[in-house]
Each structure stands twice: as C-alpha cells, then as structure tokens.
C-alpha cells in the first residue's frame, strides 16, 4: 500500500473570507499555465467566501517584474489588501536566466512581505520542463492545480496572521 505524504495539510479551521480583499499579480509568460493557475486561485478564494468584487487581478510582463508589480498594487488606491498572491511560471531554457530569476524573484517576494507588512503568497512555479508546469496547474488530466493552494493560503494568512488587525 502506498501512502502519499507530500502536499498541503488539512486546514486547522473553517475560514470565512467574506470580508477580505485579495490582490493577484501575475506574469504573462507561459500564459496557458498562468491562466489555469489564476483560475484555480480565484475559484478557491470564492469558495472561501471572498467576493469577486474584492479580488483585484493585475498583470506584469514576466516573472522578473512580479516583486515590483506586487508592491505597486499593494500600495495602490485599489487596496488596502489583506493578502497578495504573486503568480508566475518560469521554465528552464538553455541559459542561466532561469536560475538567476528564480532566486532573485523568490528572495524579493519573501522580503516584500516584511516591507509592506502583508502576506505575499508565493505563486511562482520554477519548472525544468513544460510538462512539469502543466502538471502543476491542473491542465494535465488528474493533476493538481497549485493555484487552489495559493488561494487557500491567502485566506488563512489574511485571517490568522493578519499583522494589521
Ligand atoms: C525573458 C524571459 C524568459 C526567457 N523566460 C521567462 C519565463 O519562463 N517566465 C517568465 O515569467 N518570464 C520569462 N522571461 C521574461 C522575464 O521575466 C522579464 O519579463 C524580462 O526579462 C523583462 O524584464
């Protein structure tokens, strides 16, 4: 018998997202995967009760632009937001581009949370192949859409770890 140990654990409580405002910033590179991830995140947010009118979606050209785009949305008149989700899909090519961008964007998104004092959910897929990316966005039959996990993480962080309450 095989036991699956990988993956996000069960939620500790039932969260009510009906009073939350969530900002999503996404890159446009690799749009088939991006679109599926956004859909997964938005559907999960709505399943937690977040109103569609309280979900603001904004785009940047590529993943490199995610930290700045997320900061600008977080501090814009569209807010205040309870949490932000940064979504991008990096797929390794022939050069070192992938390594540099993966690392710098990851560090910048982590740091951004402390700069703006808001949770920034890490929705950056760093994939070695297109197949890996598709298999993490629910595009391949039977695969899990990680965007759903990001939506759930945004609601939990906004409610349980809200530094601005
Ligand atoms: C240039 C580039 C390349 C090669 N690959 C990706 C990718 O796989 N995913 C992604 O989100 N963006 C990529 N980009 C674009 C850069 O992130 C950035 O938009 C440009 O270098 C302009 O700053």
| Res 11: pLDDT | 83
Write out residues with Cβ below 6 Å of ligand 1: 27, 29-30, 61-65, 88-91, 93, 97, 101
Q: Measure 85 CA to ligand 1 centroid, in angstroms.
A: 18
Write the ipTM: 0.99
pLDDT of residue 165: 62
Query: Which residue numbers are catalytic?
Result: 97
What was the pLDDT predicted at 162?
82
pLDDT at residue 5, rounded to an integer:
76
Q: Which regions in the chain score pLDDT beneath 70?
A: 1-3, 164-165
What was the pLDDT predicted at 12?
A: 82
**What is this structure's pTM?**
0.95
Residue 116 makes CB contacts below 8 A (sequence gap 6+) with: 71, 74, 75
What's the pLDDT at 76? 98
């Amino acid at each position: 018998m095989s036991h699956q140990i990988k993956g996000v654990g069960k939620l500790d409580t039932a969260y009510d997202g009906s009073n939350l405002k969530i900002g999503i910033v996404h890159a446009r590179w690799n749009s088939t995967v991006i679109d599926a991830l956004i859909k997964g995140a938005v559907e999960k947010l709505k399943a937690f009760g977040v109103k569609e009118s309280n979900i603001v979606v904004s785009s940047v050209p590529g993943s490199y632009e995610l930290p700045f785009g997320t900061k600008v949305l977080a501090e814009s008149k569209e807010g205040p937001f309870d949490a932000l989700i940064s979504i991008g899909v990096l797929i390794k090519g022939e050069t070192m581009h992938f390594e540099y961008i993966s690392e710098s964007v990851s560090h910048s998104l982590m740091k951004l949370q402390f700069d703006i004092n808001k949770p920034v959910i890490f929705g950056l897929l760093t994939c070695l192949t297109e197949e890996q990316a598709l298999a993490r966005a629910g595009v391949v039959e039977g695969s899990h859409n990680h965007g759903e996990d990001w939506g759930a993480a945004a609601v939990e962080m906004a409610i349980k770890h809200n530094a601005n309450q």
